[in-house]
């Protein structure tokens, strides 16, 4: 599946693309997924015909959120699974094209039926039966319990060994200073302060 970003698109931007009966299942500011931007689990929004990215900065122990304009984007496809009044799912996908940072064209790519409520209930029932059998085995099998404990012991030993051979923060700081990384990115060591 990989990583994706989320994009908030007001329902008003999608009205001309949808039928009234489909439009009502979207939230006023609906959150969709997209893989056409940074794919870093960032949050974007469409506002006043333009695309913005939420930038989170940390300073003096505080988080400050700021929306910055995104200008160098051509096309953004975004999608979601929506639920109708019967509890049935529908796959919905759009594409917005941007020119000089503003929306140029909008398209509905797909609006297709997904899993019905009845199908989901059947899958859940099947899943529950399987898990009941698996859990019974896990709680009653001596072999399973024994090797679970062995696995847990090896995991603890691996974590212990990893900590014993990790680079000390002072060595990393020395290397970053000498290479110039600390000047370029003063926060470079923050990832390693917990080690």
The residue segments making up the domain with residue 102 are 5-114
Coil, helix or strand for 166? Answer: coil
Shared-domain flag, residues 92 and 170: no
Shared-domain flag, residues 159 and 178: no
Q: What is the pLDDT of residue 1?
A: 53
Q: What is the pLDDT of residue 187?
A: 83
Q: Which residue has the tokens 């009044």?
A: 85
Shared-domain flag, residues 29 and 121: no
Shared-domain flag, residues 24 and 47: yes
Shared-domain flag, residues 14 and 37: yes
> Phi first, then psi: what are they for 35, rounded to 5°?
-120, 15
Decide which of 70 and 62 is more confident.
70
Residue 145 has pLDDT above 90, yes or no: yes
- Last residue in a domain, options 114, 142, 176: 114
Shared-domain flag, residues 55 and 124: no
Shared-domain flag, residues 13 and 101: yes
Give the pair of three-digit tokens for residue 48: 């006043």
Residue 185 has pLDDT above 90, yes or no: no
Q: What is the pLDDT of residue 3?
A: 84
DSSP letters of 28-83?
A: TEEEEEESSS--SS-EEEEETTEEEEEEEEEETTEEEEEEEEE-S--EEEEEEEEE
> Residues 154, 156, 161, 167: what is their CA dihedral angle, to the nearest 10 degrees?
140
Q: What is the pLDDT of residue 60?
A: 64
Shared-domain flag, residues 140 and 175: no
Shared-domain flag, residues 89 and 13: yes
Coil, helix or strand for 57? Answer: strand
CA nearest to 12, candidates 65, 55, 66, 48: 48
Handedness of CA 38, 33, 46, 107 (dihedral sign): positive
Give the mean model confidence (pLDDT) for residues 169-178.
Answer: 92
Shared-domain flag, residues 45 and 94: yes
**Number of folded domains that form the chain:** 3
Q: Which residue has the tokens 């847990």?
A: 152
pTM of structure: 0.66
Report residue 32 CA to chain centroid gap.
Answer: 10
Q: What is the mean pLDDT of the chain?
A: 91
Q: What is the pLDDT of residue 58?
A: 67
User: For residue 93, what pLDDT band results from cuts at 50, 70 and 90?
Assistant: very high
Q: What is the pLDDT of residue 195?
A: 54
Distance linking the first and last C-alpha atoms of the chain: 30
Beta carbons of 44 and 26 less than 8 angstroms apart: no
pLDDT, one tens digit per residue, over 106-131 is 999 999 999 999 999 999 999 999 99
Q: What is the pLDDT of residue 125?
A: 97
- Lowest model confidence (mean pLDDT) among 43-52, 60-69, 73-82, 146-155: 60-69
pLDDT, one tens digit per residue, over 30-68 is 999 999 998 889 999 999 999 999 998 766 667 778 999
Shared-domain flag, residues 57 and 152: no
Residue 165 has pLDDT above 90, yes or no: no
Shared-domain flag, residues 38 and 130: no
Beta carbons of 111 and 90 less than 8 angstroms apart: yes
Give the pair of three-digit tokens for residue 106: 């909008």
């Amino acid at each position: 599946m990989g990583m994706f970003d989320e994009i908030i698109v007001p329902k008003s931007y999608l009205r001309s693309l949808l039928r009234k009966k489909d439009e009502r299942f979207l939230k006023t500011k609906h959150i969709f997924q997209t893989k056409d931007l940074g794919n870093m689990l960032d949050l974007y929004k469409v506002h006043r015909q333009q695309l913005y990215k939420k930038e989170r900065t940390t300073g003096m122990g505080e988080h400050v959120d700021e929306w910055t304009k995104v200008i160098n984007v051509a096309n953004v496809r975004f999608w979601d699974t929506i639920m109708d009044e019967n509890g049935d799912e529908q796959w919905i996908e759009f594409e917005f094209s941007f020119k000089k940072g503003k929306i140029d064209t909008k398209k509905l790519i797909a609006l297709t039926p997904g899993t019905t409520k009845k199908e989901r209930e059947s899958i859940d029932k099947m899943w529950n039966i399987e898990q009941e059998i698996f859990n019974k085995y896990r709680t009653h099998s001596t072999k399973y319990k024994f090797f679970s404990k062995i696995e847990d012991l090896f995991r603890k030993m691996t974590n212990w060994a990893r900590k014993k051979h990790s680079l000390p923060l002072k060595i990393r700081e020395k290397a970053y200073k000498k290479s110039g990384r600390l000047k370029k990115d003063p926060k470079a060591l923050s990832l390693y302060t917990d080690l």
